[in-house]
Amino acid sequence: MAQPPIPQTRPPQLRRAVTPWGSFSWGYSDVGADIFIGLGLVLAAAAGASNVAFLFAGIVYVCIGLAYTELAAAYPFAGGGPYFVLRGLGDVFGFIAGWAVLLDFTIDITIFAWSCIDYSSQLLPMLVGSAHPWVHFLAVLGLIVALCFLNVMGVRESTAFNGIVAGIDVLSETAILCFGFLFAFRPELLIHTMQASWPSPYHLMLGTSLAIISFVGLESISQAAQETYRPASVIPRTSVALILTILIFALAYSNLALGMQPWHPILDAHGHHLQFWQIFPHDQDNQGKAVALLAAQVPYWGALASLYVPVLGAILLLISSNSGVFGSSRIAYSMSRADLLPSIFQRIHARFRTPAVSIFAFCGLAAVTLMFAALPSLFPRAMSLYVRLFHGESGLDFLADLYAFGAATSYSFVFVALIALRLVDPFSPRKFKIPVNWPVRFRGENTGIPIIGIFGFIGIFSILVFTLMTHPIGRIAGPAWLALGFILYLIYRRHRGLPLFRSQKHDWQRHQMEILRTSGDLELLDQYTANLKAAAERKKAGA
């Protein structure tokens, strides 16, 4: 008697469990927390032009947000920017962009866990880094370990956690701004501060490069696209809402800070700004908790805010660190599936259906980064050479340097990929398309070059140049990270027998059909196949 066929089991796939609010909260948990770190750093660098630095970075951020919205809706696949660059520019550039983003999100894990403890120290002085460096270090390390296991358990649990805190924080930050502008803001003081404390060109470039930190993280939405149901419909709505929310908050907080109380610069022994506000005590530990210090000075609301904002800020920074774990693991998963990283990074946990190997790997790398950032405070005498080389930068400054470099590098590639994909893949339906396009004809197909994308590339490339000019660690460790990664990439590709400097053959059409089918956007799948069929008929008729 014939034996029944053995059923073919498919390997575990990422679970589609992210709702529209979950999609927004993944982005907000990362971008929304950036102002808690970026505000103090930018004020310490750009002084009276801090709002200008935020404005320039904010305009670039809008361009970045529009680019990611179009790309993530058209290509709803885990991996975000590196995946878009891979499709548009090929394997080598896809790896470089992905490796830069992996730096960014690995630093994301560490820098937000670090600042989470800084905000907690507002209520728990024993966590202050300068007074208790080992306690601070162990607390940050403990958060990284806990987030590692949380993400292995599943995206649904992480998304629910993010959604609750994101909603509370939006209400809280809005309340701080409303009470601050109603009862503490003085327009004449804002004008006076900008005139009296305008920074040097160097410090303005430094402040602008740090301001982009306040807008990093929108990519989290696109990285969750493969776990979002009907992403082509959900992502444009959540991305546009997030762009507007974060832009308003960043510009409002910077102007409120400059027009709230008189302040003047205080310099350290090397001539670097430690702080500018009178409400900032003369202490670098307070740079990392600027929003909490600002909220405490708001009339009427400040007494309550001084109690809950440090807690809320710490929780939001915690979930932003959580989004770093999520983002780095999904990027590594996507790069592994494209043969840019070893196949071990795409292994899915059989029970939890999450990329557990990638999560453990990059949480471990984040822990190593934490150790290096904390060395000057843990061993001050042994690290005197390090302190001299890098101008006495704190651990937070060290992390911010690498964070700014990784973001500016990866975003620059994404803008180029946006333009390239418009040319080489005009067939994929774009439910959201960046407005203002220059119509062109390429390979017999009508398409358009996004003018906003060109301006966005110029803006983010300028910020990358500012970062290399003004960040002593960023211009050394950032390029070194890329060089090391590229060497490992060549070794891996040679071991696998894959082209070193050329792209391997990808069946992007079949791949696009599969991701549209699994995303639930069947009408877009029908439109895509119709576009391919029409193009084939035009090509046949032309021949």
Cβ contacts of 5 within 8 Å, gap of 6 or more: none
> Please, which pLDDT band fits residue 131 given cuts at 50, 70 and 90?
low
> Please, which pLDDT band fits residue 520 given cuts at 50, 70 and 90?
confident
CB neighbourhood size of 504 (10 A): 12
Q: Is the pLDDT of residue 5 over 50?
A: no
Q: Between 519 and 356, name the one with better pLDDT.
A: 356
In sequence order, what DSSP letters do the residues of 118-180 get, joined into one string? HHHTTT-GGG-TTT-HHHHHHHHHHHHHHHHHHHHH-HHHHHHHHHHHHHHHHHHHHHHHHHH
**Percent of the chain predicted with pLDDT > 70:** 81
> Please, which pLDDT band fits residue 245 given cuts at 50, 70 and 90?
confident
For the domain with range 20-475, which CATH number is right: 3.90.550.10, 1.20.1740.10, 3.40.50.2300, 3.30.60.50? 1.20.1740.10
Q: Which two tokens stand for residue 347?
A: 């292994």
| pLDDT, tens digit (0-9, with 9 covering 90-100), for 382-426 | 555 555 444 445 677 788 888 889 889 999 999 999 999 999 999
| pLDDT, tens digit (0-9, with 9 covering 90-100), for 354-367 | 788 889 999 999 99
Q: Strand 437-442 and strand 273-277: pairing?
A: unpaired
Decide if 73 contacts 9 (C-beta within 8 A): no
Q: Between 21 and 266, name the one with better pLDDT.
A: 21
Q: Identity (one letter) of the amino acid at 260?
A: M
Helix, strand, coil share (%) of the chain residues, nearest 5: 75, 5, 25
pLDDT given at position 391: 45
For 298-307, the CB contacts below 8 A with 24+ separation are 298/176, 298/179, 298/180, 298/183, 298/184, 299/179, 299/183, 299/184, 300/179, 300/183, 301/175, 301/176, 301/179, 301/180, 301/183, 305/176, 306/122, 307/123
| pLDDT, tens digit (0-9, with 9 covering 90-100), for 144-193 | 998 888 888 765 555 566 677 778 888 888 888 999 999 889 999 999 88
pLDDT given at position 56: 95
pLDDT given at position 412: 94
pLDDT given at position 343: 85
Decide if 412 contacts 457 (C-beta within 8 A): yes
Domain regions of the chain by residue span: 20-475
Lowest mean pLDDT among 194-198, 323-327, 495-499: 323-327
pLDDT given at position 232: 63
Mean pLDDT of 265-281: 46
Decide if 36 contacts 317 (C-beta within 8 A): yes
Q: Is the pLDDT of residue 277 over 90?
A: no
Q: Is the pLDDT of residue 4 over 50?
A: no
The terminus-to-terminus CA distance of the chain in angstroms comes to 55
pLDDT given at position 367: 92
Lowest mean pLDDT among 84-98, 435-449, 510-524: 510-524
**Percent of the chain predicted with pLDDT > 90:** 28
Q: Between 6 and 341, name the one with better pLDDT.
A: 341
Helices 91-120 and 133-153 cross at an angle (nearest 10°) of 130
pLDDT given at position 158: 55
Q: Between 473 and 88, name the one with better pLDDT.
A: 88
